[in-house]
Structures are given as C-alpha cells and as structure tokens.
Chains A and B, each alone.
Chain A
C-alpha cells in the first residue's frame, strides 16, 4: 500500500505528464514522438516508485558509480555490497531480506497451521545454522505501534464487517451461505486480534534481514565469495519458509547505517522502508 507521501510526490510529478498529454497539439507533426516520450517518463516514474531496487543499481552500474558512505567503506557499482579494506584484505558485506512472518496486525487472514510451524521453527533454525560455516547475522528490528490507534482501526474494520453481515442476513435469499460464513470468519479474526491487544499483547512492526561478510585478497575474490555465501544462506534458510532476496539500492545504505545507530522512531523506519511499512 502506498503512503500519503508517495501519492503526493506521484501527483506532483504526474501533473507535467498529464498536461503534456492534453497539450500534444502544441508539438504539431511531432506529437506522436512527444506522446512516446511522455509515456516513457511515466514508465520511469512508476518503475522508480515500485521497483527502484532494480532501476537504481542498473543506473549506478551503467555509469560505474561508486559510493563512499563512510571512511574505509565503499558501496560497489552494482549497489548490492559494501567493501572494507583492512590491511590489504577486502571484507565484502551483503544483506538479504528474511521476513519470518507477515505483519500479524496488517494481515486480515490468520495463517493456518501457525502452531505447528512454531513448534518446528526451533529445530529448523538450528539445522539451518549448523549447515553454515561462515559468519552471518540475523537481525530483527522491531518497533512498538500505537496500541490505541491499532485498536481503533480494528474496531472500525469489525463494525464494517458487522454491517456487511447485517446486510447479507437481510437479503438472505439473495446472498449465499458461504458469503455469511466468510464474513463471520473475518469478524472472528478481527475480534481475536482485539482480544490479544486487550490481554496486554503489544502490536509491533518488524523488519528482518540477514547480513553476511566474506573476505578475499582482492575486491573480486571477496565479492564472489559473498555471492556464494548469500546463495548458501538462501538455500539453508529456505526451510523456514522465508522470502529471501538480496538487498540492493538505497536500502543497502540504510541497513549499513543501522549497524551504528538504530532509527529512533517508527516514522524514521517507515521513511527508510516505505514498502515494508
């Protein structure tokens, strides 16, 4: 879901494109070229909004842009690894996303078999670790959310579902039985979440990621070793049913900064990872 900031920036930059489409006649016989250019710009803007982690590394690689985020550290041109040179040895660090579970308070549907997954998780985690012979870190960045706000949101959703149910019951003949069952199930899920908050459980947002470091006598050796390690990490952790993808682009810089200072508020985290929320 897009946050209001994203919508604002999209609208601001989209104005030019819209006016351009309306004023195509101003380009006379070359209006078709103008339309193609406007469409290309629209595609670029949308790509930057949704898949900037693909577009930005392509750009930095194409123009061989190297970034130095701090003394002794460099971000490579592909923008998917950090390098540090210590006494002639290169240490390459890369990150992999690894969200263990979906955001419980964002999801409307309760996952089935959660309990059995939780029972198996300890063994799976230990087996995964034992199969790895290189250093890595698994980070869980958590931030507590406003309990009252979440409760209000949930109560609003419950009221809406109850209204839907009342309407479905009124038109009992028209609506199918499965529709009412589905609405009742949704209400039960929302109620269970409200009960969990009432029982003292705190809603939290989490960002989970892996970090691994490889060493080599040259930049290439370190980066190749890092790629091998990341692949091994992805294979070993796949048993935990994680979504594992290598971090590239601006998020790499954010995660690098987290090593030395954690964001102070949930808004700061949202600004860094708008998609994750």
Chain B
C-alpha cells in the first residue's frame, strides 16, 4: 500500500477509536473532562490524517527521526549518465533520466514590426504544445564566467609587453613599435572594460524526462523523446536545437553555476569598498 494512504488511514483509524471512546463510553467510566481530552486528541489525529494526503513525505520521516532536522534524503539529488547527455535520478525504484535541449533562439522584439511580433508570440504559444509529454521550457539569465576570457586577455597583454620590450631594446622600426603599443593599449582597455562589470547571458532550453527499469533504458528513452521534441522545436521556431552534454548540463541544475565564484568575490570586494567609503 502507498505510504501516504497507509498513514492517512492509520491516523484516521486512531482518531475514530479515540472519538468513539469519548462519545460512547459512559460518564461514570470516563468522566467528562477526560472525554473532552480524548476528543481533542482524536480531532488532532483527524487533522493530521487530512494533512497526510499532501505532507506524508515530511510526516513519515518526522515520526521516524524525532528531530527538528528532517532528512528526506542523504544522497546526491542526481548523477550524470555515463554517456554524459542526461541527468539520472532514482525515483520509486525506477531510473528517471532527464535530457536538456539547447534552443539557439536569438530574436529581439526591437527588430520586428507589429505583424512579426504577433507571429513571434504565436510561435511561442505553439512551442509549448510541441509534445504531448510534459516538457519544461526555460529561459535562463545567468552571470557569465569570464575567467578564461580574462586569462586570454592577460596572456595577450603579456605577449604584447614582451614584444614591446624586445622592440625597444633592439633597433626595431618605430612603425612596428607603434603598432605593438597600439595593440597593448587596446588589450588593456578590453581587460579594463571586461573586469569592470559582470556580463550576463540569456539562454533558452527545454528539458524532458523518461523512466526505465535500467539506467541505460531510461537514457535511451529520454534521448528518443528529446529527438521528437527537438524536431518539434526546429519546425516551430526554424532553429537547430541540440542536446546539451557534459559539464554544460550543470549550468541548468546547480545554483553555483549561475554565479561564478570570481564574480562573487568581485561583488563582495565592491560591496566592502562601498561600505568603507
């Protein structure tokens, strides 16, 4: 029997027994104040039985653990499939695989006339109906991780500085030196503007799940479903969607991938500076 139904009927049973004792027992055997107490406990069980229909997931561990810190699960919420194209979760004895589909859709309302805007809105309405299975479409705004880009800029500056030093020490042409100095100034400006503010990126993706008794079965089913959804998205929006693989998936499931660590430290430094000033 489902634990939710078991808990509901268990609590309801206790409530009924206590209630009938309170109502049915003769007054000389159970005095009235005790009857009221029994009624109170019975009603509490009745309310708890009703709550169990939605909150059994918390009530059962609460009863078992006797603690204010209720542990529903001590396991990782998911793991990446060996093929790297799905997220796997174990649920009710089955494996549930979830695939993420990137939708490269970059159109802006500012470049459309009224007719195009209406058609765009209709496209979006059609998009949500591409599959009869539940599909989740997401638009995500996140802070870009510019660490590797900044490292590239720093390397370019170092190279330009070395080149400048070599040309200054040797008898290089002044024209060449000017070109290198110009490049150096350009890279420094780019680095300055890149570090000054955080950059944000807007992406759109869809996610879909499928279950199976084996991990590979769930993965294969979800990839099949993903292909169907991708063809629906492609024909509706006229774009070429792709299944997201590897660590890119983490951007959709882990909160820390929405805000890179380097950006946080920058924000904190800025905040501290503002407070000091």
Contacts and interface: CB of A to CB of B under 8 A. Distances in A.
Interface of A: 5, 9-10, 12-13, 16-17, 19-20, 23, 26-30, 33-34, 37-38, 40-41, 44-45, 48-49, 52, 56, 63-71, 73, 84, 86-87, 89, 91, 93, 115, 118-123, 125-126, 129, 132-133, 135-144, 201-204, 206, 213, 215, 217, 250, 253, 258-266, 268-269
B72 A70 contact: yes
Interface of B: 8, 12, 15-16, 19, 22-24, 27, 32-33, 35-36, 39-40, 42-44, 46-47, 49-51, 53-55, 57-58, 62, 68-78, 87, 89, 91, 96, 98, 108-110, 112, 114, 117-118, 120-122, 128-129, 131-143, 198, 200, 202, 207-211, 252-253, 255-256, 258-259, 261, 264, 268
A118 B118 contact: yes
Contacts of B22: 26-27
A9 B96 CA distance: 30
A139 B100 CA distance: 13
Q: Which of B42, B53, B98 has the most CB of A within 10 A?
A: B53
B256 A9 contact: no
Contact of B128 (A34, A37, A126, A140): A140
B134 A133 contact: no
Contacts of B96: 261, 264
Given A27-B36, A264-B210, A266-B134, A68 B23 contact: no
Contacts of B121: 118-119, 121-122
A211 B102 CA distance: 18
Contacts of A93: 255
B187 to A, nearest CB: 27
Contacts of B68: 63-66
A125 to B, nearest CB: 7
Contact of B264 (A123, A215, A253): A215
A250 B72 CA distance: 13
Given A68-B72, A122-B109, A139-B137, A48 B50 contact: yes
Contacts, number: 238
A215 B68 CA distance: 25
Contacts of B198: 133
B264 A48 contact: no
Contacts of A132: 141
A70 B36 contact: no
A252 to B, nearest CB: 12
Nearest to B252: A259
Q: Which of B8, B39, B71, B76 has the most CB of A within 10 A?
A: B39
A113 B181 CA distance: 60
Nearest to A70: B77
B137 A142 contact: yes
Given A20-B19, A123-B109, A126-B108, A262 B255 contact: no
Given A20-B39, A30-B36, A215-B264, 9 more contacts: A27-B36, A28-B32, A34-B36, A119-B117, A126-B109, A129-B202, A142-B128, A213-B258, A261-B89
Contacts of B51: 48, 52
Contacts of A261: 78, 87, 89, 91, 96, 98, 209
Contacts of B202: 129
A5 B268 CA distance: 50
Contacts of A129: 141, 202
Contacts of B39: 20, 27, 34, 37-38
Closest 9 CB pairs of A and B: A122-B109, A144-B132, A118-B121, A70-B77, A135-B258, A41-B43, A91-B255, A142-B128, A262-B209
Contact of B138 (A71, A135, A139, A260): A139
B24 A26 contact: yes
Given A30-B33, A119-B118, A136 B137 contact: no
B72 A67 contact: yes
